[in-house]
Structure 1
Amino acid sequence: MTVEKEVKEVAAREALPVQPVLAVRDLAVALPRGADRPNAVEHIGFEVPPGQIVCLLGESGSGKSVIASAVMGLLPPGLTPVAGSIQLNGRELVGATQAEFRRLRGPTMAMVFQEPMTALNPVMTCGEQIDEVLTQHVRMDKPARRQAILDIMARVRLPDPARMYDSYPHQLSGGQRQRIVIAIALILKPALLICDEPTTALDVTTQAEILKLIRELQTENGTAVLFITHDFGVVAEIADQVVVLQLGKMIERGPARSVLTQPREPYTKMLLAAVPELAAHPRPPVTDNFPLLDARSIVKTYVSGSWPGKRREVHAVKEASLVVRPKETVGIVGESGSGKSTLARCIARLIDPTAGEIHANGRSVAHLRGRLLSPFRRDVQVIFQDPYRSLNPRQTVGASIIEGPLNFGVPYDKALKRAEELMHLVRLKPEALRRYPSEFSGGQRQRICIARSLACEPKLLIADEAVSALDVSVQAQILKLLDEIQQKTGVSILFITHDLRVASQICDRVIVMRQGAIVEQGPARDVLLAPREDYTRALLAAAPGRGFAFGRG
C-alpha cells in the first residue's frame, strides 16, 4: 500500500461519524396510576460520544435520576419504559432482562451514586467490595485481584492503598468513600460511566479533586460520562454537552458553554438566575452588640484505643471562640474534617465539649446536664443537612412539628395552632400537617424541618449544611425564606456550609476553620472578597465555576 493511499484511508476513517456510546431516543418512562403526571420522562433524546461528558440538569423531579436508572436497569417497581430506545454501543437496553443488565454492569457501564455511605456495605471492607466486581466478571486469582485493587486505589489517589483495602467505610472521610465508589465503577474500565450527583455533599477542595479525577480517568480511558448534577459551577468545570430537563421533558440541549452563557429557554434562564454569586450582598446592619451566644476556647478531643493497644487522640476542635449577636447570621466554612459541625454540636450541647465555656444570654451552659439544659435546648434548634433522614417517616408532618413544644409543656391546641402558622411562614398549606414526609419533595421537606425548628420559638438556629443537597432554585428559595424569617422573628442563625457562594448570600460574618482551628474570621465581605489567609484563598480558588459568566437572560 502506498503512503498516499494509506493517508487517504486514515482520512476517510476519521471523516466517519463517531458512534455514540450511549444513544437515548424518544424515551418515555411511565409513572404508576395516581401520580402527578402520566410519565416520569417523555420524548427524551440525546447522545453521549466516547471521551465526552454530557450533563443532565434540572430541578428535583425533573427525571434526571429516572433516565440514569433506566440506562442501568435499576428502575424501581412501577416505573416502566413505554416508548423509545436506549442503546449502549448499539445494543438495545429497553426490554433487556436483569440477567443481561448484570452482565453489562461493571465491564460495559457503571454508576457512581450520590451518597457513598449508603452505596457501600458497612460490614465489608473497602477492598472486599471492589473485589466483588472482579470476582463476578473476570477470572483472576486472589493475589492478582488484590494487586488490581491496590492499583485502582492508587489511581484514584487514595492514601496508603494497603490500609484502605482493609478499612471499613465508616473509617474513611466522605471524599475517600467517594473515591472508593469511583474505584468500584472504574476498575473494569467501562465504556459508559454514570455519575449521579457524586460531589453534592463534598467540600469545595474535595469536590475539585473528585472532578479533576473523573476528567483525568475519562480522558485516559476514552470513557463516555453521563453526569447528573444541580450545581452549575460543576457543569461549567467539566461538561462538554448539557441537557436541561423540567418535569420530565427536555427543555434545552447543546454545547455547555452555549447553554450556560446564552440560554434560549426561559426555564434555563430562571435556573441560571438562581445560581448564587460570590459577591457581597447588602444586609441590614446588626445593631445589638450584646452577645446572644458567646463560645470561648472550645476544645473537643476524641480518644480511641485502650491498653494494651495504642491510645489515639483526635483533636476535632482546638481553642475555637465565636460570638453570635441577635438577628445576626454567622457562617462557618471549611473542608470536611475541619471541625465545623463538631463545633456547632458542642455549641448546641448535642455533644459535650472537652474544655471551654459557652454562655447563652449571659448564663454558662457548657457543663449543664439533664433538666438544667431544657431552657437552653428550647432556645437553640438545629436544621440538619438531610431532610429525608431528619423526619420520622411514620409520623405525620404535624406530629413532628408539635412534638418539641409538647415536650416543653405547651398545650396541644396551642402547639397545633402554632404549627398551622408556621406552615404559612414556610409557604406550605396547613393541610400538609396531615400528610407524611414521603409525600413531599426534598425542598418541601426542608421547609418542614425549618418549621419544626421554629416551633419552639428559638433564639438561635443552627443550620448544618441545610441547603447543600437542594437544587439551585429551591436553594435560592430556602435562603430567601431563612432571611425573611430572621427579619420577622429576630432569630439568630449559625450557618454551616462548604459552599462559599451560599455563605456570601446570607452571612453577616464568616468564620473559616481548618483542622479544628479557626484560621480567619470577620465580615463576610472582607473574608470572602479580600481574604488574608492563604488557606481561605485556596478555598475560594477551588470553588467550581468561579469566575464563569453565567448567562442569566
Structure 2
Amino acid sequence: MSAIPSPNETAVPVLSVRDLSIALPPGADRPHAVANISFDVHAGRILCLLGESGSGKSILASTVMGLLPEGLRPVGGQVLLHDQDVLRYSPEAMRAIRGSQVAMVFQEPMTALNPVMSCGAQVDEVLRQHTALDRAGRRARVLEIFQHVRLPEPQRIYDSFPHQLSGGQRQRIVIAMALILKPALLICDEPTTALDVTTQAEILKLIRDLQAENGTAVLFITHDFGVVAEIADEVVVLQLGQMIEHGSKEQVLTAPREDYTRSLLDAVLELEPAQRPELPHSYPLLEVQHLFKTYETRRWPAKPRIVNAVDDISLRLHAGETIGIVGESGSGKSTFARCVARLIEPSAGDIFSDGRSVARASVRDLRPFRQVVQVVFQDPYRSLNPRQTVGESIIEGPLNFGVPRAQAWAAAEELMRLVRMKPEALRRYPSEFSGGQRQRISIARALACKPKVLIADEAVSALDVSVQAQILQLLDDIQRELRIGILFITHDLRVASRICDRIVVLHQGKVVEEGPARNLFTAPQSDYTRLLMAAAPGRAYRFARSSAAPSVLVDA
C-alpha cells in the first residue's frame, strides 16, 4: 500500500482540538479527565491516540461526538470540526452532524448494535434520519455498503440479527453504519481489541482502504502498539489526561523522546518464545481424552445443522506447566475450556482430574473438582459482583467449602499481597478499581480455593500493554510459587509466546498443530499456524527498546 502524502500545512484540518480540558466530578482521583490537549487530524490521515486505561482516550472521542457522560464537562479549549466549534452546538445540532459529518466505530459491536433489530434495519435507520431516499433506495444503499465492507451474502446479512453473526462480521456492520453517509471524520474506539489476529488484520486493512478511498480523516483510539505500527500516520501518547508525546509514527515508535513512551514500548511483547525452565516429569494434574462438543441447530424448514465446536481434542497438563490454546474466533478455544471446567457438558470423551474421571460426574460429585479447577474469565467487569465488596467475592468460594470466615478472610489478605494489592482493598467495591486491578482480584478469587489448575480464558486480551505485561508476570510468579498448572486460552500469539510452555493450535474445533512453544514459533509445521503468525499486527516492526529495560513492566 502506498504511503499517504503529508497534509498541506496550509489546509484546514478536518478536526482540530485546541487546549481542551474536561473536568472530572469532585472527589475524583485527579481534577481533569484530559488537560490542555491539542492536535489536528487532516483529510486522508490517521492519527492514533495511544495510552493506558484511564489516560483519557475515550473521553476525547466522546467529546468530539457530543456524547460526554453526565458529570463530565469541558472547562476550556475548542473542538473544531471543519473550523466550527462543536462544544457550542446544541444537542439537536449535534444529532444532525452525527453520521453525516462525524461517525464512530465502537469497541464492542455486540453492545453497539440493537439485539432485537435486524442488521439491515439498523443501518437503514441512519439513512431514514439523514436522507430523503425511499425504502427501496435505502435498501439498495445498505446492500451496496455491505458489499463494500466485504460482508458475505449481503442479502442474508441484511435480514440477520447481531447474535447470528461472528465478531468480525458484527464489526463490519458497525463500520458500514459509520461510513454509509461518507462522513469527513471517522472515530474508531478500540475497534479490534476483542478480535483474533486474522479478523483484526482484515478490519485494519478495511479501515485503511476505505479511508484512503474516501479521503476520510480518522481518529483511531488504541492501546495496541502492533495496531499503531500497521495503521497510524501520526501518534499522540496520553498519560492520565496529559499529552506526553506527539509525532509521526516512525518518530514515536522508533525514537521516542519521553521516558513514559519508552516504558510502554518496553512492555510490548515480542513474537518469539520466552526462555522457560525445564519441567520435571510429573503425574498430570489434568488429562483430556478425545473430547467432543457438538451443537445441533434447527431452523425450519431447513435440515438440522451439525457443528463440531470441539472435535477430538486430547492433552495432558502437568504441575508448573502452561499450555496455550490459540486460534481464531470460532475455533473452539472457549468451548473447549468450558467443557474442561465442566461449565458445559461435553458430547463425548473423558476428562481426568488427579486420575479421576469427571466428564459425566453429577453436580454433587463435581464438588471436589470445583475446588481443584478454577477459571479466570476475560472480562473482570462482568465476572465480579458489583454489589459485593471484593473481599466477599474472594471468600465466597472457601466459605462454600466449609472454611471458617476468619480463616478465609486472613487467606484473602494474603492473596491480595500475592497479586500485589493492599489488603485494605478487600472492603472496596469492583467499581472502585481499574481493569487491571479487577483482573488481579479475579485471579485472587480463583486462587482462594487453592486450585491445582487455573483456566485463563482470554484473561489479558482487553488490557493495555503495561497492565497485560504485569498480569502475565504475576501469573508466572504465582505458578512458580504454587506449582499450579495453567490452561491459557488466547488469540494473541505474542501473549502465548510470553507465557506458554506448550501450544495447541485449533481451527474449526480441530487440533492443527501442537508442541513446545519454541518449536512452534521458530518452525511452524502447519500453514494455518503460519497464517496466524503473519497476521499479527506490527509483527515486522522494530520498536524502540531501552537497552537496560526488562521485558515487562513491574508493578509498583
Q: Which residue of 1 aligns with 2:550?
A: none
Letter in 2 for 1:409: G
2:157 counterpart of 1:164: yes
- The alpha carbon displacement at 1:307 in A equals 6.9
User: Secondary structure at 2:87's aligned position in 1?
Assistant: coil
Could you tell me which of 361, 370, 375 is aligned with 2:368? 375
User: Secondary structure at 1:449's aligned position in 2?
Assistant: helix
Cα distance change, pair 109–457 in 1 and its aligned pair in 2 (3 A):
same
- Distance in 2 (CA, whole Å) between partners of 1:95 and 1:144 is 35
2:272 counterpart of 1:272: no
- The alpha carbon displacement at 1:245 in A equals 0.4
Letter in 1 for 2:158: Y
Equivalent pairs counted in the alignment come to 540
Q: Which residue of 1 aligns with 2:401?
A: 408
Q: Which residue of 2 aligns with 1:6?
A: none
- The alpha carbon displacement at 1:280 in A equals 2.0
Moved more, 394-403 or 267-276: 394-403
Q: Which residue of 1 aligns with 2:505?
A: 512
- The alpha carbon displacement at 1:222 in A equals 0.3
- The alpha carbon displacement at 1:499 in A equals 0.7
User: Secondary structure at 2:228's aligned position in 1?
Assistant: helix
1:390-437 deviations in Å (ceiling 9; x for gaps)? 111111111111111111111111111111111111111111111111
2:180 counterpart of 1:187: yes
Q: Which residue of 1 aligns with 2:413?
A: 420
Q: Which residue of 1 aligns with 2:73?
A: 80
Q: Which residue of 1 aligns with 2:383?
A: 390
- Distance in 1 (CA, whole Å) between partners of 2:9 and 2:32 is 36
Letter in 2 for 1:272: L
Letter in 2 for 1:19: V
- Distance in 1 (CA, whole Å) between partners of 2:21 and 2:465 is 26
- Distance in 1 (CA, whole Å) between partners of 2:401 and 2:138 is 58
User: Secondary structure at 2:449's aligned position in 1?
Assistant: coil
Q: Which residue of 1 aligns with 2:492?
A: 499
- Distance in 1 (CA, whole Å) between partners of 2:524 and 2:543 is 24
Q: Which residue of 2 aligns with 1:99?
A: 92
2:281 counterpart of 1:310: no
2:316 counterpart of 1:336: no
- The alpha carbon displacement at 1:15 in A equals 6.8
Q: Which residue of 1 aligns with 2:169?
A: 176
- Distance in 2 (CA, whole Å) between partners of 1:414 and 1:33 is 38
1:9-34 deviations in Å (ceiling 9; x for gaps)? xxxxx977221100001000000001
1:137-156 deviations in Å (ceiling 9; x for gaps)? 11110011011111111111
Could you tell me which of 45, 64, 72 is aligned with 2:38? 45
2:430 counterpart of 1:462: no
Counterparts of 1:114-129 in structure 2, within 5 Å, are 114-129=107-122
Could you tell me which of 286, 289, 297 is aligned with 1:293? 286
Letter in 2 for 1:230: H
- Distance in 2 (CA, whole Å) between partners of 1:189 and 1:412 is 60
- Distance in 1 (CA, whole Å) between partners of 2:409 and 2:421 is 15
Cα distance change, pair 539–306 in 1 and its aligned pair in 2 (3 A):
closer
- Distance in 2 (CA, whole Å) between partners of 1:85 and 1:288 is 64
Cα distance change, pair 276–15 in 1 and its aligned pair in 2 (3 A):
closer
Q: Give ranges in structure 1 of 5+ residues lacking alignment.
A: 1-13
Contact 1:288 1:326 in 2 (8 A): no
- Distance in 1 (CA, whole Å) between partners of 2:219 and 2:428 is 35
- The alpha carbon displacement at 1:97 in A equals 1.5
1:205-225 deviations in Å (ceiling 9; x for gaps)? 000000000000000100000
| Sequence identity (%) | 68
Q: Give ranges in structure 2 of 5+ residues lacking alignment.
A: 1-6, 547-556
Letter in 2 for 1:126: C
- The alpha carbon displacement at 1:306 in A equals 6.9
- Distance in 1 (CA, whole Å) between partners of 2:197 and 2:299 is 36
- Distance in 2 (CA, whole Å) between partners of 1:16 and 1:516 is 53
User: Secondary structure at 2:92's aligned position in 1?
Assistant: helix
- Distance in 1 (CA, whole Å) between partners of 2:9 and 2:314 is 64
Kindly report the root-mean-square deviation, in angstroms, between the aligned alpha carbons of the 2 structures: 1.1
User: Secondary structure at 1:403's aligned position in 2?
Assistant: helix
Contact 1:384 1:466 in 2 (8 A): yes
User: Secondary structure at 1:503's aligned position in 2?
Assistant: helix
Letter in 1 for 2:527: D
- Distance in 1 (CA, whole Å) between partners of 2:41 and 2:89 is 20
Could you tell me which of 512, 515, 523 is aligned with 2:516? 523
1:263-316 deviations in Å (ceiling 9; x for gaps)? 010000000000001122111211133211110111100012177652111110
Could you tell me which of 35, 39, 59 is aligned with 1:66? 59
Letter in 2 for 1:22: L
- Distance in 2 (CA, whole Å) between partners of 1:106 and 1:547 is 36
Could you tell me which of 108, 111, 119 is aligned with 2:104? 111
- Distance in 2 (CA, whole Å) between partners of 1:144 and 1:136 is 14
User: Secondary structure at 1:151's aligned position in 2?
Assistant: helix
2:129 counterpart of 1:136: yes
Q: Which residue of 1 aligns with 2:230?
A: 237
Contact 1:152 1:187 in 2 (8 A): yes
Letter in 1 for 2:177: I
